[in-house]
């Protein structure tokens, strides 16, 4: 989107995030994308916006109330930013409504009908819907009194009469998408809330209904536990979850063709100004449409299923630690199976020589083979220690549930740190060998979550390197001791030395380029926000260092500006899988220093979280990450977007007579050919280096 303050050297982080969501919407709008994949992207747009309002818009609103004169690094005040966010969200939702209609039309031609409008009588359809509605719980309130307390994670229907109103609440959000009878090879659905609105006169027979429309509230997700609070963190989380009705409403959405007196009444009753009222003539909360995406029998409307590869050394049980003892192993998910990580823990649980397992959990899912393996290890007498991050946003209650299950299974759950979050992805297994104890360590860029491991691109390293093992062991001891970290030498760890380490690497590359030339920095991450890092990258660019960045989402750096960032390019890839790995590469005069990490280049990751960046030391694995993952992403000409100096993004295009490159599809193809086991089987493709440096 256009940058409103061209004199500033930083883009606004929240407007940049909205730009990312717009690129997701572009996938939904792309008619070359399979129809059900388009529907999934349209639903992701809504889910993303919900979380954006719960967290970021709520925080901006607090700033506007408490520090109205405070400005963000790009110069905008909270009030100014709020106006721009509203304008962009309204534009984005208007586009989403048109895209959704197009998707539903395409699905109808393919045998899937989702009824969203009920303009005329249809006795057969009405009878089917009435039958399905019997399985839905909803409550009906009639009152002329103040609006009752309503939950935000529900859909409601507002019905207005003369001098009075009623509220109907659908208690089960996911079941508002009604599955109706359909011929073989077809599927039919209806949205309950829209049908109820069309029949509301029947529900209130004898009453004159002036208007009826669905609405939904978004409340802030405000988990701001302070270390000096009297309650324990577990008590605080549980209490907070049980009292969601106390959270401030930050957005009111109504599904209606126009702003009405009823919508204004609701906004006033919720103590919202008009800027927090959003009207869309489209169904609310498209997350329910994920159920349509999950339909069996319509594989032709999705991307072809992939079978994650299991490299050759791991196709027999009990081989993981013996393989890792000989050399490091790199895993590239979802192209490589996450089962390898699960089996690493299962193998450790069963191995009588294993004495200890230490593990960090940020997100784990409702069901988890990783958690089952940890419980099994404890049952077999291993010393199992787990740090489970209770402050993982939107997963607080699930992680609290796992905390209690692990304790009941005999696992030592490290007491939660009241201050910083632990966001690192690390597991360590200690095995007693004749020559002494050996550490087998897994470090990754993504969560130990089997579901997201099939949807997110991440990298993981299995290593028996003694120095890395020793520093990871100290890291776990520090967590158990309350978070007092020592400065490591091989790893970079936040909040101790990660920011300083990245700054040092950027400055060293800049200085070396000034002496010898050939400077190159490549990095991949979700978000680039930290102003000090951006300033150092600008300085590197001014010195002539080539800086090539893959930044999926927020990017506050302005590339391609003469005299500031003309040697910097920024690409964002939005495709079938969510790009999630974090990679930092520095040419370093040919030494190729390369780190993988759990951390984006954001102040929160550097200062407010425990993070780990770990080096890739094996030359072959290092070459794979550099040549295939980084350059493969940078070479994408199908699903990549180039960030422009004005803040807009333009789609990458293949050069004339050049074959199109779609990096994610290329990685799938490589995995099918067993492109790597532990020795990469000498099938290491390479992508051209634009400047010829190696």
**3-state SS string over 555-583?**
ECECCCCCCCCCCEEEEEECCCCEECCEE
Average pLDDT over residues 387-410: 92
- Please check whether residue 75 is in contact with residue 10, taking contact to mean a CB–CB distance below 8 angstroms: no
Question: Domain 13-301 carries which CATH code?
Answer: 3.30.1840.10
Average pLDDT over residues 510-516: 97
Q: Is the model more confident about 121 or about 602?
A: 602
Please report, for residues 357, 362, 426, 608, 673, the alpha-carbon distance to residue 446 in angstroms, rounded to integers and kept in the order given. Answer: 19, 9, 10, 18, 24
Domain 492-682 has CATH 1.10.287.610: no
CATH architecture of 312-480: 2-Layer Sandwich (3.30)
- Please check whether residue 60 is in contact with residue 78, taking contact to mean a CB–CB distance below 8 angstroms: yes
Of 589, 583, 555, which Cα lies nearest the Cα of 569? Answer: 555
User: What pLDDT, on the 0 to 100 scale, is given for residue 683?
Assistant: 40
- Which residues lie below 8 Å from residue 528, measured CB to CB, with a gap of 6+? 534, 549, 551, 554, 555, 556, 557, 570, 600, 601, 602
Q: Does an H or E element contain 210, and which?
A: none
Cα(110)–Cα(161) distance, integer angstroms: 41
Cα(293)–Cα(213) distance, integer angstroms: 26
> Residue for token digits 């549980």?
238
Cα(88)–Cα(25) distance, integer angstroms: 13
Of 379, 370, 376, which Cα lies nearest the Cα of 388? Answer: 370
Cα(664)–Cα(660) distance, integer angstroms: 12
HSE of 523, CA atoms in CB hemisphere, 13 A: 25
Catalytic pick among 332, 333, 359, 423: 423
- 13-301 matches 492-682 in fold: no
User: What pLDDT, on the 0 to 100 scale, is given for residue 8?
Assistant: 85
Q: Is the pTM of this model over 0.85?
A: yes
Q: Does an H or E element contain 676, and which?
A: none
Cα(428)–Cα(443) distance, integer angstroms: 9
Of 475, 479, 464, which Cα lies nearest the Cα of 678? Answer: 464
| Angle, CA of 676, 678 and 684, to the nearest 5° | 35
Domain ranges in the chain are 13-301, 312-480, 492-682
Please report, for residues 253, 361, 363, 407, the alpha-carbon distance to residue 479 in angstroms, rounded to integers and kept in the order given. Answer: 43, 13, 18, 17
* Known catalytic residue at 221: no
Please state which of the ranges 47-61, 219-233, 269-283, 378-392 shows the lowest mean pLDDT. 219-233
- Which residues lie below 8 Å from residue 91, measured CB to CB, with a gap of 6+? none
Question: Which tokens go with 211?
Answer: 């208007």
- Which residues lie below 8 Å from residue 329, measured CB to CB, with a gap of 6+? 311, 313, 323, 461, 462, 463, 678
- Please check whether residue 193 is in contact with residue 172, taking contact to mean a CB–CB distance below 8 angstroms: no
Cβ-based neighbour number of residue 489 at 10 Å? 10
Strand 249-255 to 164-170 pairing: unpaired
The pLDDT tens digits of the residues spanning 64-77 come to 999 999 999 888 99
Confidence bin at 239 (pLDDT 50/70/90):
low
User: What pLDDT, on the 0 to 100 scale, is given for residue 674?
Assistant: 58
Please state which of the ranges 79-93, 168-182, 258-272, 342-356 shows the lowest mean pLDDT. 168-182
The pLDDT tens digits of the residues spanning 538-583 come to 999 999 999 999 999 999 999 999 999 999 999 999 999 999 999 9
């Amino acid at each position: 989107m256009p940058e409103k303050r061209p004199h500033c050297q930083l883009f606004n982080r929240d407007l940049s995030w909205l730009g990312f969501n717009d690129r997701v919407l572009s996938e939904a709008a792309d008619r070359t994308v399979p129809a059900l994949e388009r529907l999934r992207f349209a639903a992701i747009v809504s889910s993303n916006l919900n979380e954006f309002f719960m967290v970021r818009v709520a925080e901006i609103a607090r700033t506007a109330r408490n520090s109205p004169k405070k400005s963000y690094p790009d110069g905008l005040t909270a009030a100014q930013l709020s106006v721009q966010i509203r304008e962009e969200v309204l534009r984005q939702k208007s586009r989403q409504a048109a895209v959704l209609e197009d998707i539903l039309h395409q699905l109808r031609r393919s045998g899937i009908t989702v009824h969203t409008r009920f303009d005329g009588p249809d006795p057969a359809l009405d009878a089917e819907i009435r039958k399905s509605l019997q399985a839905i719980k909803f409550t009906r309130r009639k009152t002329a009194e103040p609006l009752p307390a309503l939950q935000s994670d529900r859909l409601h229907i507002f019905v207005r009469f003369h001098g009075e109103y009623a509220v109907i609440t659908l208690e089960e959000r996911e079941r508002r998408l009604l599955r109706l009878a359909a011929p073989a090879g077809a599927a039919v659905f209806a949205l309950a809330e829209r049908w109820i609105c069309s029949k509301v006169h029947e529900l209130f027979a004898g009453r004159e209904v002036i208007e009826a429309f669905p609405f939904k509230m978004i409340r802030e997700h405000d988990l701001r536990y302070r270390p000096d609070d009297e309650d324990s963190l577990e008590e605080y989380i549980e209490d907070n979850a049980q009292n969601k009705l106390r959270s401030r409403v930050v957005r009111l959405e109504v599904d209606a063709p126009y702003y009405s007196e009823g919508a204004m009444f609701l906004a006033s009753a919720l103590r919202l100004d008009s800027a927090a009222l959003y009207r869309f003539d489209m169904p609310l909360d498209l997350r329910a449409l994920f159920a349509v995406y999950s339909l069996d029998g319509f594989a032709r409307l999705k991307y072809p299923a992939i079978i994650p590869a299991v490299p050759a050394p791991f196709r027999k049980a009990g081989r993981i630690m013996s393989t890792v003892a000989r050399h490091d192993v790199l895993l590239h998910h979802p192209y490589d199976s996450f089962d390898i990580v699960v089996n690493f823990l299962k193998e450790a649980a069963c191995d009588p020589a294993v004495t200890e397992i230490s593990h960090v959990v940020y997100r784990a899912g409702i069901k988890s083979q990783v958690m089952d393996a940890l419980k099994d290890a404890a049952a077999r007498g291993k010393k199992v220690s787990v740090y489970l991050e209770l402050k993982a946003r939107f997963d607080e209650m699930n992680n609290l549930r796992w905390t209690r299950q692990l304790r009941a299974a005999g696992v030592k759950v490290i007491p939660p740190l009241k201050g910083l979050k632990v966001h690192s992805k690390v597991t360590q297994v200690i095995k007693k060998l004749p020559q002494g104890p050996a550490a087998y360590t897994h470090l990754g860029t993504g969560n130990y979550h089997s579901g997201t491991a099939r949807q997110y691109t991440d990298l993981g390293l299995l290593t028996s390197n003694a120095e890395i093992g020793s520093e990871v062991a100290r890291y776990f001891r520090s967590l158990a001791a309350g978070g007092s970290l020592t400065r490591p030498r091989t790893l970079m760890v936040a909040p101790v030395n990660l920011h300083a380490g990245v700054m040092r690497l950027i400055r060293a590359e800049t200085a070396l380029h000034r002496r010898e030339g050939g400077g190159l920095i490549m990095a991949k991450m979700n978000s680039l926000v930290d102003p000090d890092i951006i300033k150092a990258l600008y300085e590197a660019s001014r010195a002539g260092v080539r800086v090539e960045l893959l930044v999926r989402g927020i990017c506050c750096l302005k590339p391609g500006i003469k005299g500031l960032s003309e040697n910097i390019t920024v690409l964002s890839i939005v495709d079938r899988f969510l790009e999630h790995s974090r990679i930092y590469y520095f040419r370093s005069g040919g030494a190729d220093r390369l780190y993988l990490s759990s951390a984006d280049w954001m102040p929160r990751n550097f200062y407010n979280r425990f993070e780990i960046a770990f080096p890739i030391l094996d030359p072959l694995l290092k070459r794979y990450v550099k040549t295939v993952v980084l350059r493969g992403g940078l070479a994408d000409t199908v699903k990549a977007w180039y960030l422009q100096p004005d803040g807009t993004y333009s789609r990458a295009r293949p050069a004339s007579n050049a074959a199109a490159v779609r990096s994610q599809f290329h990685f799938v193809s490589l995995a099918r050919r067993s492109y790597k086991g532990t020795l990469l089987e000498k099938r290491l493709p390479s992508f051209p280096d634009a400047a010829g440096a190696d």
